[in-house]
Amino acid sequence: MQEFEFYLPTKIYFGEGVIKKAGQEARRFGQRALVVTGKSSAKKTGALQKVEISLKEAGVEMVLFEGVEPNPSLKTAESGAELAKEKRCQVVIGLGGGSPMDAAKAVAVLSTNPAPADQYLGRNRVKEPPLPIIEIPTTAGTGSEVTPYAVLTEIKKEGSRKKILTDHLIFPKVALVDPELTLSLPGSITADTGVDALSHAIEGYIANNSQPISDLLALKAIKLLVHHLPKVMDNPEDIKARSYVLYASLLAGMVIAQTGTILVHGMGYRITSDFGLPHGRANGLLLPWVCEFNLTERYDKFALLAESLGEEVKNLSKEEAAKKAIRGIQRLLRELGMPENLKDRKIKEETIREFAEEIMQDERKLANNPRRATLEDIIKIYKRALRGEIS
């Protein structure tokens, strides 16, 4: 059997109301907690108040760092760490979508390691153990509550780039995964973030770094998303369906924590930073085409994937069944109202070439992909996803 490693040091609480454990869990690490949130949703939905009450009951003082923007910048993380140091916080709590959760991880790093933040981008560059991190997701998609990644935006004169800080030291100590917090998500964010979770599961499943345990989690996550995401879109208050979607997002996060992602994520970052598409929606544009590109290297897995996506594969050859996976992905994306391309934006040839050239310079983005991609391959995939061109 294949040799593998599976590492997940995060204590997970899952269930309606587990947000109330914030106080008791934070108290294990100290008496003052920095709570990192987004612009306004945590306040509006009452999630922040729940954390505040729970911390108070446990005798933990709350220091608030709010206003983290989508795709958080290195600067934002540096400002959060200044506040954490000034107030002598002993634990950092991320409350929100992937953006505040990732910012919380970077804040925890910069509270014990000197600025600037860019020196920690890449792999295993953190020297001192960060402050303990507790994550409370309010979107169902990124799985950041169980990953060793923080995705941060580096803003330079030439433009913004999404970069990843990867380090086992930033695995959260605790994840409080509470489906009630996702009830307030509007349809478009539910769909975008759900597609992000789907993408994590599929990418992790076919990645070169895939392994037996993460494969189990990935297929389960995919089945749950196919079944329950459309239900949530029809009835946003369906707490049972919301719970399964959040559970699937958690499983998919556990998958990428082990396997990493493939070209979908690698190629999607520029679509987000240059065209402003939310992270999950950018992945959705690329997912069918990156999968199609990899089909020949993974017939067995794509055939199983097709079945998990609810496609009829009985009596089909392995190759035919595998092709059905692409159809299954497209069907689900359509059902969720995802755009099929960005044809209306008239994206230029030079822009696509520039994106593709950047990917070719980053060996990490290419190495985990089952089929080795050339510059021309990447250009072709971008053209399909962005301009709807079929060559």
Where does this chain bind ligand NAP (CB under 6 A)?
A: 38-42, 45, 70-71, 96-99, 102, 138-139, 141-144, 147, 149-151, 181-182, 184-185, 189, 193, 196, 279-280
285 Cα distance to chain centroid: 15
The distance of closest approach from Cβ of residue 279 to Zn ion in the complex, given in angstroms and rounded to an integer, is 6
Of the pair 142, 330, the CB lying nearest ligand NAP is at 142
Stretch that binds Zn ion, among 84-92, 122-130, 196-204, 232-240 (CB under 5 A): 196-204
The distance of closest approach from Cβ of residue 265 to Zn ion in the complex, given in angstroms and rounded to an integer, is 6
- The answer to whether 66 and 59 have CB atoms below 8 angstroms apart is no
The distance of closest approach from Cβ of residue 83 to ligand NAP in the complex, given in angstroms and rounded to an integer, is 18
Of the pair 102, 307, the CB lying nearest ligand NAP is at 102
Of the pair 102, 196, the CB lying nearest Zn ion is at 196
The alpha carbon torsion through 189, 192, 198, 200 (nearest 10 deg) reads -100
Question: Of 196, 215, 292, 307, which lies in the binding site for Zn ion, with binding defined by CB under 5 A?
Answer: 196
Of the pair 279, 323, the CB lying nearest ligand NAP is at 279
Of the pair 203, 311, the CB lying nearest ligand NAP is at 203
Of the pair 130, 280, the CB lying nearest ligand NAP is at 280
- In order of 114, 139, 170, 175, the CA distances from 71 in angstroms are 22, 14, 18, 21
Number of CB atoms found within 10 A of residue 307's CB:
19
Q: Contact between 145 and Zn ion (CB under 5 A)? A: no
Choose from Zn ion, ligand NAP, none: what does 193 bind? Cβ within 5-8 Å by kind. Answer: ligand NAP
* Residues paired with residue 195 on neighbouring β-strands, in sequence order: none
Binding track, positions 154-193, relative to Zn ion; x by CB under 5 A: ----------------------------------------
* Positive or negative torsion for Cα 278, 281, 287, 290: negative
In terms of Cα–Cα distance, which of 73, 8, 70 is closest to 256? 8
The distance of closest approach from Cβ of residue 142 to ligand NAP in the complex, given in angstroms and rounded to an integer, is 4
Q: How is residue 94 written in tokens?
A: 């991320």
The Cα–Cα gap between 141 and 253 comes to 8
Choose from ligand NAP, Zn ion, none: what does 181 bind? Cβ within 5-8 Å by kind. Answer: ligand NAP
The distance of closest approach from Cβ of residue 145 to ligand NAP in the complex, given in angstroms and rounded to an integer, is 9
Residues binding Zn ion: number (CB under 5 A): 1
The distance of closest approach from Cβ of residue 143 to Zn ion in the complex, given in angstroms and rounded to an integer, is 8
Choose from ligand NAP, Zn ion, none: what does 96 bind? Cβ within 5-8 Å by kind. Answer: ligand NAP
Of the pair 184, 351, the CB lying nearest ligand NAP is at 184
In terms of Cα–Cα distance, which of 183, 186, 125 is closest to 150? 125
How many residues make up the chain in this entry?
Answer: 391
What stretches of 165-278 show up as alpha helix (H) in DSSP?
187-206, 212-234, 239-259, 263-275
103 Cα distance to chain centroid: 13
Choose from Zn ion, ligand NAP, none: what does 161 bind? Cβ within 5-8 Å by kind. Answer: none
The distance of closest approach from Cβ of residue 151 to Zn ion in the complex, given in angstroms and rounded to an integer, is 8
The distance of closest approach from Cβ of residue 221 to ligand NAP in the complex, given in angstroms and rounded to an integer, is 14
With a CB cutoff of 8 Å and minimum separation 6, the contacts of 214 are 6, 204, 205, 254, 255, 258, 259
With a CB cutoff of 8 Å and minimum separation 6, the contacts of 190 are 140, 182, 229, 232, 233, 236, 245
For binding to Zn ion (CB under 5 A), which residues are involved?
A: 196
